[in-house]
């Protein structure tokens, strides 16, 4: 409901502005722009390497867990109830450690993504502002990296503004 109010207010303001001044509006597809930048490909490569490293650590822990489970299963027939309970507790602890490691890995990956992409995102936003000013746009609506909309925009199939931003960034669009 809050989004609808915001959208209606925004549209009202834009409609009001058209009576006072010339309004020139553009739409920038941030993901489209980012996908064209060589920096993004470098970031993807770095993230894949980091993810491989994290996955390797988790895989090693999982293999150790599986080996411990097999050892327990093969020797549980000869173990006392106390020894079984101790070993089962150790296995549960190891399984919890693996789950915690997986959660930490996901958080680290997201953090690394934000660290690497932040400067590139800032560069794109600055280029959008430069292109908007140079071409007389009064409003630029952008779809953010996360997919959230900054404002409502028409179904635009034309990436001409985004292509101008890429040109400002020194990237040739094919």
Residues 131-167: tens digit of each pLDDT: 888 887 777 877 766 655 554 333 444 567 778 788 8
Residues 52-97: tens digit of each pLDDT: 999 999 999 999 999 999 998 999 889 898 988 999 999 999 999 9
| SS3 of residue 1 by DSSP | coil
> CA angle 24-120-131, nearest 5°?
20
Q: How far apart, in whole angstroms, are the C-alpha atoms of residue 160 and residue 140?
A: 13
Q: How far apart, in whole angstroms, are the C-alpha atoms of residue 26 and residue 146?
A: 20
The model scores a pTM over 0.85: no
Angle between helices 81-134 and 160-168 (to 10 degrees): 90
Q: How far apart, in whole angstroms, are the C-alpha atoms of residue 151 and residue 7?
A: 7
């Amino acid at each position: 409901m809050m989004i609808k109010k915001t959208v209606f207010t925004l549209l009202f303001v834009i409609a009001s502005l058209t009576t006072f001044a010339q309004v020139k509006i553009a739409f920038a597809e941030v993901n489209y722009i980012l996908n064209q930048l060589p920096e993004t490909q470098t970031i993807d490569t770095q993230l894949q390497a980091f993810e491989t490293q994290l996955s390797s650590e988790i895989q090693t822990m999982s293999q150790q867990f599986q080996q411990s489970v097999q050892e327990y299963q093969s020797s549980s027939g000869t173990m006392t109830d106390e020894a079984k309970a101790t070993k089962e507790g150790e296995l549960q602890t190891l399984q919890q450690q693996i789950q915690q490691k997986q959660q930490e890995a996901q958080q680290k990956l997201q953090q690394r993504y934000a660290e690497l992409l932040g400067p590139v995102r800032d560069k794109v936003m600055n280029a959008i502002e430069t292109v908007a000013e140079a071409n007389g746009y009064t409003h630029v609506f952008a779809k953010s990296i996360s997919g959230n909309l900054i404002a409502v925009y028409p179904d635009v199939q034309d990436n001409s503004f985004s292509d101008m931003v890429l040109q400002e960034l020194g990237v040739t669009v094919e």
